[in-house]
Chains A and B, each alone.
Chain A
Amino acid sequence: MRPCDRVRMTLSQVAPDRPPLDGAFRPEVWKSIRAYLGMHDDDQIKNMLGFDFRQAVIEPSAEFASTAVPAPVEAYVGVGSRDLVRILPTGEFEDDRGIRRVVDSTNTYFRFTHHPLRGAESPDAFTFPNPDLPERYAHISGQVQRFKDRYMVQVETGNIFRDAWELRGFEQFLMDTRLNHAFTTRLLDRITDHKIADVSRMIQAGADIIQMAGDIASGQGMLISPAWWRAEIKPRLARVITATRRPGVYYYFHSDGAMQTVIPDLIEIGFDIVDPLQPECMDVFALKRQYGAHITFRSTLSSQRTLPFGSVEDVRTEVRARIRELGHDGGLILAPSNAVQPDVPLANLLAVYDETLKSVGAM
């Protein structure tokens, strides 16, 4: 079975031979996998692990790229964008939106130091990257040419909420939602218009899955009120999907945390996949019974407990339970939730893939 057919069956809530597999690993984890397997071609490693997806990224403009360097540590520089930055004399790194970050003391993660709309009177002070530049979608076209008709090619972008706080600053934007309605709605409208232009072109370039990512919840519940999200974010996400959807294109929503309250809303506006459904803060089996006929669950594996702290057998048991309870009628993509951190024992990580590959025919 071709990986892309496996995914399409799953997304139509029909069980294929096994759940599709995917994953994102921290660079340190990639290093240990390569060393352990004695393989250097990540694409071959993905094949061996059973990945059914390939990732593509959005490129900055050629003009920006000509003065930029790869980010000193691999990390998300803008959701789904290539890690290219300009290094400022202050030691900060600036991406093509003017967002600045510094690296932490262990040289592993970024911290925000500047947001382009911080302190701005109007959201119009920000100029979005030009969606008419063909180089922006060149990597997508390349991945499509290389992988289309075998794998699903997916591209990540912000889920509007995230775009807004990245441009404005997290606390400032959250306060804006309470104190500055005109600013908030104007900013969200501008982001939505740009998102429609951007996503349309990603799809024209051949992307199969549009991943819209950004955390709207913590382990305890929503960061923002569900009522506010429904009033301000949901209709705008709906606008993006309605304006851009083509046959065979799927929409994916990512948020960490206890965000289950908005799952029916995501289904209503046309999302096909929800990720990662952290089992530490929600009952994924109950959610499957409630919503499983209408949306595909991605991950559902425990990245805070089982993967880093459990035994290999704990991981295998968790994977088998997911396949049995969540994947029996399709609607399940297995992947460790979030980017796998270096504290996850390699044997545990590999067990996710091995156990899923072993399940062929058992579904």
Chain B
Amino acid sequence: MPPLGLEALFVAIIDGDLARTKELVQRAIDQGTPPEEIVSRWMVPAMAEVGARFERQEYFVPEMLVSARAMQAGLALLKPLLTQRKVKPVATVVIGTVRGDLHDIGKNLIAMMLEGAGFQIVDLGVDVPAERFVQAVREHQADVLGLSALLTTTMPQMGAVIRAIVDAGLRDNIKVLVGGAPVTARFAAEVGADGYGESAAVAARVARKVLALDSAAP
């Protein structure tokens, strides 16, 4: 459970109540609550709870979408303040569905959950060629690259993207995560990825793990 204070905001995000989320975020800002505290103590745990409910099959895609939408609206109010205070995101993630594949439901959910966990997301969309991933990783100095595929025929593209990242000399500075219906942990290992998530619910956990973000925690 989060600390006492903005429980109503926590609940509003879980309920996917956009108007209430905006109202409560604005009130917290007006009352002088530090924006990074609003995000990390209240909003991120709310999206984590949404993810947990999704994992337990109490929440489904519609519930996740309306919560993410509320979260995004709240973050939009906070972003200028965070930038002003030079608050850094947890990490920057470049994400996209590989070339030849147009499926994006899973990829979009992952992006929402990672954004909800405090990551900065650069979403390249679908049918993304290897060179665009390379370009975006370089341009945004990304910490994580997320690759998605639904088709068995496009899975091998993930290997091609990873090779392009290696060839560009970027591999040592980035963690690569792969996912999608036919993707397995074994495939992830074979293709040279650092991690694999089997559903949107675990995305943030997997990303934090490969970045070793929690290893310093007591």
Contact = CB atoms under 8 A, between A and B. Distances in A.
Interface of A: 104-106, 108-111, 170-171, 174-175, 177-179, 218-225, 228, 303-304, 308-309, 341-343
Interface of B: 16, 57, 59-63, 65-66, 69, 99-102, 105-106, 108, 126-127, 129, 151-153, 181-182, 198-199
Contacts of B65: 171, 174-175, 178
Given A111-B127, A175-B62, A178-B63, A304 B181 contact: yes
A219 B201 CA distance: 13
Contact of B126 (A111, A171, A178, A342): A111
B66 A178 contact: yes
Given A222-B57, A343-B152, A110 B63 contact: no
A163 to B, nearest CB: 17
Contacts, number: 72
Name the residue in A104, A110, A221, A222 with the highest tally of chain B Cβ atoms < 10 Å from its Cβ: A104
Contacts of B61: 174, 223-224
Contacts of A106: 99-100, 127
Contact of B153 (A219, A224, A342): A342
Interface of B is mostly: loop
A109 B102 contact: yes
Contacts of B106: 218
A162 to B, nearest CB: 13
Contacts of B152: 303-304, 308-309, 341, 343
Contacts of A228: 60, 62
Contact of A341 (B59, B63, B151): B151
B160 to A, nearest CB: 13
Contacts of A308: 152
Contacts of B63: 178, 225
A342 B99 CA distance: 16
A224 B60 contact: yes
7 shortest interchain CB distances as A-B pairs: A106-B100, A174-B62, A111-B102, A304-B182, A104-B127, A343-B153, A225-B60
A341 B181 contact: no
A26 B59 CA distance: 35
12 contacts: A105-B100, A105-B127, A109-B101, A111-B127, A175-B65, A221-B57, A222-B60, A223-B105, A224-B60, A224-B62, A225-B62, A225-B63
